[in-house]
C-alpha cells in the first residue's frame, strides 16, 4: 500500500510546508480563552463559598494549644548552698574581707552583690534544681487541665569538692503547690508535700489553667550525689494530651547535697553577719 502522506509527512497530518493544515479545534485560541474564563469563575466562586477556610485548615496546625510555661531556677547566691572545688577557707576569707568593709550591721542588700561576685570569681556553683518555681498559664481563655509531672535524670555522679551553706534571707514554710522528688530513688517521682499554712489546703493534680487563671508549682529536689535532671509537665487541651518540657533555659537543673530541702547538711556554714566559717555537720 502506498503511503498517502507523502515522503515529506510529519506524522501529524501536516505537509512538507507544515503551515497549510488547519489547527485542531481544541487548540484554537477561542476555545482556550473560553475554558480559562470558566475555570477562573469557578475558582472564584469556590473561594467565596469557603475554599479559603479549607486551604487554611489543611496548612494550619489545628492541634491543641499548649500552655505557656516558665521556670525560675534557684540561682541566687545567698540562702543557698555553694559547691566549691577549691579551698573553702580561702573562699570564706574573700567573703569576710569584702563584707567587713561594709562596717558593722551591714545591710543584707549590700551583701547580696558581694556574694554574687565571689560566687562567680571563685568558680563556685549553686544547685539550680534545689528549688524551681514553675508558672503555667493558658494562652487562651479555653481551659487547659494539668495532669501531672515527670522527672528525667540526665546524669548522676559522685560529688567532688565541698559544700558551704550561705544562710541569709531565707523564708520558711511549705506553699500549697510544692512537689518533692528524691533523685536517689530507682524511679524518682514528684509527690505533693503537705502545706504548712493552715489556710491553704494542699491539692494534688489535676489543676485547671487559662489565660486569666495561672498556676504556680514549686519543684524541690534532693540527692546525696551530683545530679543533672529535667522535668516534664503533662496536660490535656481540647481533649488531646500533650506535654511541655521544664528546663533551666534549655539546660539541665543541677542538684547536690546540702540544699535547703536536703536531709544531708552542707560541709560548712558561712555566717555573713558573724563573719565566721564553721563546720556545718558538727552543729
Is it the case that residue 281 has pLDDT exceeding 80? Answer: no
218/134 Cα distance (integer angstroms): 6
pLDDT of residue 7 exceeding 50: no
**Max Cα–Cα distance, the chain, nearest Å:** 124
Distance CA 55, CA 78 (A): 56
Tell whether 23 and 94 lie within a shared domain: no
CA distance 76 to 116: 8
Tell whether the model's pLDDT for residue 73 goes beyond 80: yes
Q: What is the DSSP string of 191-228?
A: EEPPPS-TTS----S-EEEBTTB-EEEEEEEE-SSEEE
Residue 13 has pLDDT above 60, yes or no: no
Mean pLDDT taken over the chain: 82
Check whether 92 has a pLDDT greater than 60: yes
pLDDT score of 45: 53
DSSP letter assigned to residue 272: T
129 and 234 together in one domain:
yes
Q: What percent of the chain has pLDDT over 70?
A: 75
CA dist., res. 140 & res. 210, Å (int): 6
Q: How confident is the model at residue 55 (pLDDT cuts 50, 70, 90)?
A: very low
Of all residues in the chain, what percent carry a pLDDT higher than 90? 62
Torsion of CA 46, 48, 50, 53, to 10 degrees: 110
Looking at residue 259, what is its pLDDT? 80
Per-residue pLDDT, 70:
96
* Domain boundary residue, one of 36, 62, 88: 62
Do 176 and 143 lie in one domain? The reply is yes
Q: Tell me, yes or no, whether 176 and 258 share the same domain.
A: yes
Instruction: Mark whether 151 and 27 lie in a shared domain.
Output: no
Give the residue from 30, 62, 94 where a domain finishes. 62
C-alpha cell at 187: 524511679
Whether pLDDT at 182 is above 60 = yes
The larger pLDDT score, comparing residue 57 to residue 280, is at 280
Supply the angle between the helices 108-121 and 88-100 in degrees, to the nearest 10: 140
Contact 67, 145 (CB under 8 A): no
The predicted structure's pLDDT at residue 21: 46
**Residue 188: what pLDDT?**
97
Q: What is the pLDDT of residue 56?
A: 43
Residues 56 and 173 in one domain: no
Domain around 43: 1-62
This prediction has a pTM of 0.75
In this structure, the answer to whether residues 3 and 79 fall within a common structural domain is no
Same domain, 10 and 106: no
Query: Same domain, yes or no, for 45 and 101?
Result: no
Whether residues 154 and 126 share a domain: the answer is yes
Neighbouring residues of 154: CB distance < 8 A, sequence distance ≥ 6: 228, 229, 230, 252
> What would the DSSP string read from start to end of 49-75?
IIIHHHHHHHHS--SPPPPEEEEEE--
Query: Taking residues 49-61, what's their average pLDDT?
Result: 44
* CA torsion angle 252 257 260 261 (round to 10): 80
Q: Is 163 helix (H, G, I), strand (E, B) or coil?
A: strand
Helical residues (DSSP H) of the chain, grouped into ranges: 29-46, 52-59, 88-100, 108-121
| Domain tally, the chain | 2
38 shares its domain with 123: no
Domain boundary among 62, 78, 112: 62
**Top-ranked range on mean pLDDT: pick from 35-44, 167-176, 204-213:** 204-213
Domain identity same for 14 and 138: no
The larger pLDDT score, comparing residue 133 to residue 176, is at: 133
The length of the chain, given as a count of residues: 283
Amino acid at each position: 500500500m502506498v503511503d498517502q502522506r507523502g515522503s515529506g509527512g510529519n506524522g501529524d497530518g501536516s505537509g512538507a510546508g507544515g503551515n497549510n493544515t488547519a489547527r485542531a479545534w481544541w487548540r484554537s485560541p477561542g476555545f482556550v480563552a473560553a475554558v480559562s474564563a470558566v475555570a477562573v469563575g469557578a475558582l472564584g466562586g469556590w473561594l467565596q463559598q469557603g475554599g479559603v477556610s479549607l486551604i487554611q485548615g489543611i496548612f494550619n496546625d489545628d492541634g491543641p494549644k499548649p500552655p505557656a510555661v516558665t521556670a525560675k531556677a534557684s540561682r541566687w547566691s545567698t540562702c543557698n548552698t555553694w559547691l566549691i572545688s577549691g579551698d573553702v577557707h580561702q573562699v570564706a576569707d574573700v567573703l569576710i574581707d569584702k563584707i567587713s568593709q561594709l562596717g558593722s550591721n551591714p545591710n543584707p542588700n549590700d551583701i547580696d552583690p558581694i556574694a554574687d561576685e565571689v560566687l562567680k570569681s571563685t568558680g563556685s556553683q549553686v544547685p539550680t534544681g534545689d528549688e524551681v518555681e514553675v508558672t503555667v498559664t493558658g494562652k487562651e481563655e479555653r481551659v487547659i487541665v494539668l495532669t501531672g509531672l515527670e522527672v528525667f535524670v540526665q546524669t548522676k555522679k559522685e560529688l567532688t569538692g565541698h559544700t558551704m551553706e550561705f544562710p541569709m534571707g531565707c523564708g520558711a514554710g511549705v506553699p500549697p503547690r510544692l512537689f518533692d522528688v528524691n533523685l536517689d530513688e530507682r524511679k524518682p517521682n514528684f509527690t505533693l508535700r503537705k502545706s504548712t499554712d493552715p489556710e491553704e489546703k494542699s491539692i494534688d493534680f489535676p489543676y485547671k489553667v487559662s489565660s486569666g487563671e495561672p498556676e504556680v508549682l514549686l519543684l524541690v529536689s534532693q540527692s546525696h550525689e551530683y545530679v543533672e535532671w529535667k522535668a516534664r509537665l503533662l496536660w490535656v487541651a481540647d481533649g488531646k494530651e500533650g506535654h511541655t518540657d521544664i528546663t533551666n533555659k534549655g539546660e539541665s537543673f543541677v542538684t547536690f547535697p546540702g540544699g535547703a530541702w536536703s536531709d544531708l547538711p552542707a560541709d560548712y556554714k558561712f555566717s555573713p553577719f558573724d563573719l565566721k566559717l564553721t563546720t556545718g555537720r558538727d552543729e
